[in-house]
Structure 1
Amino acid sequence: MSFMTAAVMLASAATMPSAEIRTTIRDVRAIAMTHGATIWPGFERAAIEVDVIDGQVEHLFCRKAATGFSPARRDPVTGCSVVTRRRVLPIDLAASFDISPGMQVIAIGTPAALDMDRAAWKMTLLHESFHQYQAGLPGYATAVASIRAVIGSDGTDWALNYPFPYADPTVATAFGGMTAAAGAFLAAPDPAAAATAIRQYRRARRLAENAIGQRAWQYYEFQAGQEGVARWTEIVLAEAASRDDPALTSIARDRRLGLANSLRAIDEQGISMWKRSAFYVLGAIEAEMLNRQRPGWRADYIRAPFSMGKHLDALD
């Protein structure tokens, strides 16, 4: 018996993940179907295929067939086909990526492995479902390749490990202006004050771009558009679905309030400590700025996902 045959037989015999996990996958797919299109055109058509890394086995939900996985069986909880294989991914992973050429899925450990409760795990799935949506946008792959060409990074982990000059005092000063204006926006008592804060933020953003230089700035634009907008989307999706899930009401509120808390921490601890995570926070706030001033920005984002600065400049 070959190793592959034995692995498939082992996976086929494995029990399904818990009912709570399967119910959460079902609920996330329902949120995308019900509320996704109100936020992003076509979101309801996102595949949302989820590879649950459970002990020594991976269960790939909502996929009828995949190389190296067992023949499909049907899960009555999610209503999806499920294929399985012996575990090859880390048990604490939470990411959306190609597990084989042309096959992008959400790969995620169990709530226990990630030390999350059900609501936090659901939020993580919502976040990663947006990454699946992003990957299916027309021209997305070309846009990513263009960013990589500008910044001159060709390693497989370039999105995580690009040598951005976080420790440069000029960078700290530049981002200090952005975080101050972003904080003023979040604390604005009325639309007029929010609009003033957005104008201040845009000025600070342009100064930061000039100070940091085009090559490094493109890395910021990538992270703001990729991860920042995903963070904003998970919050807005959870808020839309919270009428049917009270647990989401609390965590969505906490995540939104967490943006202001994160800004304060970035100011206190420095961007050299937060690194690219600071860009996720600022990108989410930029998405909120755009959504309040010009909801149509989302159509522009689909055509240019890594151009948050241009979308903000369109507020004129």
Structure 2
Amino acid sequence: MRNLVFVLVSLIASFAIAQCPKESIIQLIEVANQLKTQLVESYWQEWSEVKMPILQIDDESEFLFNTQSSDTTFHQSCENYLSRPTSLNKSLLATFPLVDGQPTIVVGTPENTGKSPEAWTITLLHEHFHQLQFSHPNYYSAQKALQLDNGDQTGMWMLNYPFPYDQKPVNTHLKAIAANLLRLDSLDPREVLLTHKTLKNQLREQLGEDHYKYLNLQLWQEGYARFVELDLTQKWIENFDQIKQNQFQLEEILTLQQQQEEEYTTHLERSSPMELKRVYFYALGAAEANLINEVNPQWKSAYFDSLFTTDHLLKTVE
């Protein structure tokens, strides 16, 4: 009987532990919350008011951070975290309406997403920028107005849209745009801008309106999100001593920044849309945002004037 009681107690304890988020995850999300609190208002004041709900997917359980929920599939676990058995892909790293209909960052562990702890943390801020985008009152109506979904109501069309990635002329033209944007360090930014506008107009004629709208959608949504992610990494470095983060050393964030820059350059210089598909637009959009930020540091005030296009940002610097 004594052995049976011991086994039962052990099982209950193991279950309780399984219902708790890992301490390392709690600490990483706390750092992300601090970065949000201290840094994002300098980009858009309203961004600081946007909530950052997170559904963190562990091997056995999914945990809610920064929010509560009326969803009855969640149950109170230790330290007042809501949790439920894992039901989603453990390698997910995305943002979409989920918990009570609000845009939710859905993310596996650093190990399951293939990211270092510091890269995982700053990626939460990338995803939080998507929460800002999705919270715009016209986001979904403007998305529908693009008329690119072909009847798909799930939103998956944004990932699977049949953009002509494999067409050689399209690849050549996009690579020319990338090469011009990479000249920003060596040429007058306004010269780079003028060439960029010319190349982009030529690409519009080559692609046709629907494909061009999809390109701009990806630049606006993912490319500028990548720019903000890279910029926030720099601000993390500059404000490192103001963030409580015993798990990180400054050298690790500097290494992260170097890795980000290497990936950015590699994608634009040595990769192609044919190879990377939609992911190519992350670096291309970040490069365009970098140019706009150089010639017009006030671009953020116009970013949300037109959704799913960046062409209006090029016009603000004429």
Please report the TM-score for the alignment, with normalisation by the length of structure 2.
0.85
Q: Which ranges in structure 1 are unaligned for 5 or more consecutive residues?
A: 1-9, 76-80
The structure 2 residue matched to 1:201, chosen from 175, 188, 196, is: 196
Q: Distance in 1 between matches of 2:221 and 2:25?
A: 26
Q: Deviations over 1:86-118 (max 9, x none)?
A: 111001100111225523211100112122221
**Alignment pair present for 1:14 and 2:18:** yes
CA distance in 2, matches of 1:12, 1:51: 19
The answer to whether the 8 Å contact 2:25/2:109 transfers is yes
**Counterparts of 1:254 and 1:136 in 2: how far apart (Å)?**
31
1:302 maps to 304
* Higher mean displacement: 283-292 or 215-224: 283-292
Does 2:236 correspond to 1:241? yes
For residue 151 of structure 2, what is the aligned residue in structure 1? 154
Q: 1:280 and 1:199, CA in 2 relative to 1: closer, same or farther beyond 3 A?
A: same
In the alignment, the residues of structure 2 paired with residue 128 and residue 205 of structure 1 have an alpha-carbon distance, to the nearest angstrom, of 27
Residue pairs, 1:6-85, within 5 angstroms: 14-72=18-76, 75=79, 82-85=81-84
2:118 alignment partner in structure 1 = 119
Quick check: 1:177–1:201 contact (8 Å CA) kept in 2?
A: no
CA distance in 1, matches of 2:87, 2:72: 11
Kindly indicate whether the alpha-carbon contact (under 8 Å) linking 2:75 and 2:82 is maintained by their aligned counterparts in 1.
Answer: yes
- Tell me the alpha carbon deviations over residues 198-217 of structure 1, each in whole angstroms, 9 at most, x when there is no partner: 22112111111111111111
Match of 2:267 in 1: 262
Aligned in 2, Cα 1:114/1:176: closer, same or farther, shift over 3 Å?
closer
- 8 A contact 1:33–1:45 mirrored in 2: no
Matching of residues 105-184 of structure 1 within 5 Å: 105-147=104-146, 149=147, 151-155=148-152, 156=154, 157-184=156-183
Report the residue type matching 1:258 in the other structure: E
Q: Deviation string for 1:28-64 (max 9, x for gaps)?
A: 1111111101112322122111111011210011122
**Is 1:279 the equivalent of 2:281?**
yes
Which residue is 2:245 aligned to? none
CA RMSD of aligned residues (A): 2.1
Taking a change above 3 Å as real, the CA distance of residues 285 and 254 of structure 1, as seen in their structure-2 partners, is: same
Q: What is the SS of the residue equivalent to 1:275? A: helix
Which of 213, 219, 224 matches 1:224? 219
Match of 2:7 in 1: none
**AA of the residue aligned to 2:25:** I
- Which deviations, in whole Å up to 9, do the C-alpha atoms of 1:172-194 show, x marking residues without a partner? 23213212211212xx23xx523
- 1:89 is matched with which residue? 88
Deviation (angstroms), 1:220? 0.4
Q: CA deviation at 1:69?
A: 3.8
Aligned residues with identical type, % of pairs:
25
1:95–1:106: 8 Å Cα contact kept in structure 2? Answer: yes
| Shift in alpha-carbon separation, 1:218–1:43, aligned structure 2, 3 A | same
For residues 13 and 261 of structure 1, what CA distance do their matches in structure 2 show?
42
- Bigger CA radius of gyration: 2
Deviates more, 1:270-279 or 1:24-33: 270-279
* Unmatched segments (≥5 aa) in structure 2: 1-13, 241-247
Q: Which moved more, 1:130-139 or 1:165-174?
A: 165-174
Equivalent AA in structure 2 for residue 306 of structure 1: F
- The 2-side partners of 1:16 and 1:152 are apart by 40
Q: Deviation of residue 71 (structure 1)?
A: 4.2
Paired residue total: 293
Q: Secondary structure at the match of 2:268?
A: helix
